[in-house]
Amino acid sequence: MNIWNREMETLEGAALEAIQFERLKETLARIWKAGTPYRARMEDAGVSPESIRSLDDLEKLPMSRKMDFRENYPLGMLAVPLDAVVRLHASSGTTGSRTIVGYTAGDLRNWAELVARFATAAGVVASDVAQISFTYGLFTGGFGLHYGLENVGATVIPASGGNTELQFALMRDLGTTVLVCTPTYALHMAGAGRGLGFDFHESRLRVGLFGAEPWSEGIRERIERDMGISATDNYGLSEVLGPGVAGECELKDGMHISEDHFIAEVVDPETGKRLRDGQQGELVLTTLAREAMPVVRFRTGDLTEMWREPCGCGRRNARMRKVLGRTDDMLIIRGVNVYPSQVEKALLQVDGIEPHFLIMVDRRGELDSLEVLVEVSEGLFSDDTRRMREFTKRVETHLKSVLNVRVQVTLKEPNSIERSPGKAKRIVDRREA
């Protein structure tokens, strides 16, 4: 198995900590000198760069949040003059207003390095033809993968998102071997192939680099089966970099974190206290090489767990589990916590259901209620109301047993729930309305 940067990806123990500490000091010094809003946060907490004498002192540093970007919109988080910034992106703003992120030329070089690492880990090589079906634009997915895959030496097709027929034509005519998009768009393409006369198993496609939203193992199995490829997960977020924070290798047992560029911690989302390896909590990231917009102890809102054991691929860095969801995506229905990813997982366990669904949350009187709209498989939808009712009941019983909360299920015809070339919208919350 190839490793893009063997030296950095096999670092561990004291050698890794030495690099992390040195880069952390540089990062703090840069923030201090630039006087970004985080410096004021440090001063309030009574710490300065000098207070950090070892990596253990990291916990003395205050945490930062997406809110910091919002409050300092648009460019208040910059630690360099705008002159030194060569690119701006913005987060998708799925859970609030937009945040702007800047990159220096050095940041862009590092970004292309980090994407090259996870692409290589997933099995991408220079002879590959990579079709990027992430939307190009403010979203970091398109450009992030673009330069990373060019760095690997692959032939890049900047297809951008949407227009599924064009996607298939490009794949067929140009012999695409690597597909890059969100897992829900991959799922959509897998289903649409049949209707549009594209046979994945006849195609040259062999690897998928999927990320930007949570997806379960069940979805992976479907995509791998329907497309005949190896589907891998990769993780990142705009405020920290974009894609390239972590990604799976061909063994697909957790995402390798680029620890020479990020210090990762997992904390209790309630108390902010650091958790042990193997415990699930919120991922907190500190950047170690970002120049334009470094962040320290940034609360990602993403739930996962971390562990460090050498992987069979040879990499020695810490790994993180597939992201369960965001802390702010968690629904509390009559006291029970429900994540969209749990609904997805439960739905996939029922034969005759497709993993295209929408969760509607409402308040009836004092009580919150949950309704799941879900598509049934081709051929199952029928006019036989008794049969449909029985099937609905079966799905409801299954969801209740897995989620511990009563769910009303509404079956929908195949292809009736809106598809997105980007991140899927899973929740419609009508409680505030």
Nearer to ligand DLL, 235 or 262 (CB): 235
> Of 140, 139, 120, 118, whose CA–CA distance to 128 is shortest?
120
DSSP string, 217-248: HHHHHHHHHHHTSEEEEEEEETTTTEEEEEEE
Q: Which residues of 278-311 are buried (b: 16+ CB within 10 A; e: fewer)?
A: eeebbbbbbbbbbbbbbbbbbbbbbbbbbeeeeb
DSSP string, 343-368: HHHHHHTSTTEEEEEEEEEEEETTEE
Nearer to ligand DLL, 116 or 411 (CB): 116
User: What residues line the site for ligand DLL (CB under 6 A)?
Assistant: 91-92, 139-141, 211-214, 233-238, 242-243, 300-302, 323, 326
Question: Closest separation between CB of residue 320 and ligand DLL, Å?
Answer: 10
Nearer to ligand DLL, 180 or 395 (CB): 180
Nearer to ligand DLL, 283 or 395 (CB): 283
> Which stretches does DSSP call E strand in 1-95?
85-90
- Pair type for strands 178-181 and 129-132: parallel
Q: What gap in Å lies between CA 312 and CA 314, rounded to an integer? A: 5
Q: Residue 332 carries which side chain, given as an amino acid letter? A: I
Question: Closest separation between CB of residue 180 and ligand DLL, Å?
Answer: 8
What are the C-alpha distances in Å from 405 to residues 342, 371, 408? 12, 11, 10
Nearer to ligand DLL, 80 or 323 (CB): 323
Question: Is the dihedral angle over the CA atoms 102, 87, 16, 22 positive or is it negative?
Answer: negative
Nearer to ligand DLL, 20 or 300 (CB): 300
Nearest residue to the partner ligand DLL, using Cβ: 211
Question: Closest separation between CB of residue 209 and ligand DLL, Å?
Answer: 8
Question: Closest separation between CB of residue 234 and ligand DLL, Å?
Answer: 5
Question: Closest separation between CB of residue 13 and ligand DLL, Å?
Answer: 27
What is the three-class DSSP state of 35?
coil
> Which stretches does DSSP call E strand in 258-376?
262-267, 281-287, 298-304, 306-307, 319-320, 325-326, 331-333, 336-338, 353-364, 367-376
CB 11 within 8 A of CB 4: no
Question: Closest separation between CB of residue 119 and ligand DLL, Å?
Answer: 11
Nearer to ligand DLL, 238 or 317 (CB): 238
Question: Closest separation between CB of residue 205 and ligand DLL, Å?
Answer: 18
Nearer to ligand DLL, 241 or 311 (CB): 241
Question: Closest separation between CB of residue 36 and ligand DLL, Å?
Answer: 20
